[in-house]
């Protein structure tokens, strides 16, 4: 059995050893994945696998490491049925094993930054005063009058980074996923009470296992050629 995840790991990245994912394994996983249109409602992600996917969300990179979002894992069938008509009636919302709403922060305060500085200090065994320059960089960037109008968009961008990480990690673990932007943010907010929690829905993701009847699984993946997308300068 694997060790439970520690939210404040004491190990530095350089001290952690792991078996490397072979290059072909990675590319095959990315070729295998697609935006799943029909999930098998009889199949659920095991708690052990889901815990690892939640760890992947937590370990996603974000600007300054501030993680200006919350991940709302909606498993209650009644709540998902309530969200369905506000999600373009996309059946993934109710048929997938798990449904995740990436809720971004609407604001950021000096107290939020101080709490993060304290977490860094506690985790790494240093004094908050030693992080003064880093704190000043964050406050001098994120709390200015010029940046405040951009903060919600910035937070949403960080949520999208976490979404991309989740999609790749799910594929590597053989879990199907469908990123979803087709929903009514205002309706989601009303149902879930997000604004009063300082959040707004940025994007969603359904996860589970594809249905055998999903025709999209048999379609050839379409991508523009490398020479059109990648430039070496």
Interval 84-104: pLDDT, tens:
999 999 999 999 999 999 999
- Per the domain annotation, does 25 fall within a domain? no
**Angle at 52 (CA atoms; ends 183, 25), nearest 5 degrees:** 90
Residue 65 lies in a domain: yes
Q: Are residues 89 and 121 in the same domain?
A: no
pLDDT tens digits for range 127-174:
999 999 999 999 999 999 999 999 999 999 999 999 999 999 999 999
| Whether pLDDT at 26 is above 70 | yes
If asked whether residues 119 and 192 sit together in one domain, one would say no
**What's the number of domains the chain is made of?**
2
Quote the CA–CA distance of 56 and 169 in Å, as a whole number: 7
pLDDT at 1 (0 to 100): 37
Together in a domain, 83 and 147: yes
More confident residue, 20 or 105: 105
Q: Catalogue the long-range contacts made by 14-21 (C-beta closer than 8 Å, 24 or more residues apart).
A: 21/172
One domain, residues 147 and 223: yes
Strands (E), 98-142: 98-105
The predicted model gives 188-216 an average pLDDT of 98
Average pLDDT, the chain: 95
Q: Do residues 102 and 117 both lie within one domain?
A: no
According to the model, what pLDDT value does residue 6 have?
54
- Residue 14: both structure tokens together: 């350089």
The CA distance from 120 to 116, in Å, is 6
CATH number at 155 reads 3.40.109.10
Residue 129 covered by a domain: yes
7: confidence class by pLDDT, cuts 50, 70, 90? low
Query: Span 193-208, mean pLDDT?
Result: 98
Q: Distance between CA 97 and CA 95 in Å, rounded?
A: 7
CA proximity to 6, closest of 51, 60, 64: 51
Q: Are residues 35 and 136 in the same domain?
A: no
DSSP 153-202: HHHHHHHHHHHHHHHHHHHHTT-EEEEE--S-HHHHHHHHT-GGGTEEEE
B/e letters for 30-48, b = 16+ CB within 10 Å, e = fewer, are eeebbebbbbbeeeebeee
pTM as predicted = 0.94
CA dihedral 13, 16, 18, 21 (to 10 degrees): 10
Domain that holds residue 183: 31-108+143-229
Same-domain status, 183 and 171: yes
Question: How far apart, in whole angstroms, are the C-alpha atoms of residue 104 and residue 156?
Answer: 5
């Amino acid at each position: 059995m694997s060790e439970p995840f520690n939210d404040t790991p004491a190990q530095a990245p350089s001290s952690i050893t792991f078996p490397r994912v072979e290059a072909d394994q990675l590319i095959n996983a990315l070729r295998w994945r697609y935006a799943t249109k029909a999930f098998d409602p009889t199949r659920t992600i095991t708690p052990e696998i889901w815990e690892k996917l939640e760890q992947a969300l937590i370990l996603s990179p974000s600007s300054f490491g501030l993680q200006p979002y919350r991940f709302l894992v909606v498993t209650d069938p009644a709540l998902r049925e309530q969200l369905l008509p506000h999600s373009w009636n996309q059946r993934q919302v109710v048929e997938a094993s798990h449904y995740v709403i990436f809720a971004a922060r609407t604001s950021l305060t000096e107290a939020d930054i101080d709490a993060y500085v304290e977490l860094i200090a506690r985790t790494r065994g240093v004094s908050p005063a030693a992080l003064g320059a880093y704190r000043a960089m964050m406050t001098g960037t994120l709390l200015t009058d010029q940046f405040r109008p951009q903060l919600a968009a910035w937070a949403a961008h960080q949520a999208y980074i976490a979404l991309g990480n989740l999609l790749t990690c799910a594929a590597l673990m053989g879990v199907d996923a469908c990123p979803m932007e087709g929903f009514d943010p205002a309706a989601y907010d009303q149902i879930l009470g997000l604004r009063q929690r300082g959040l707004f829905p940025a994007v969603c993701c359904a996860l589970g296992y594809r249905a055998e009847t999903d025709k999209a699984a048999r379609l050839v993946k379409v991508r523009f050629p490398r020479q059109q997308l990648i430039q070496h300068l």
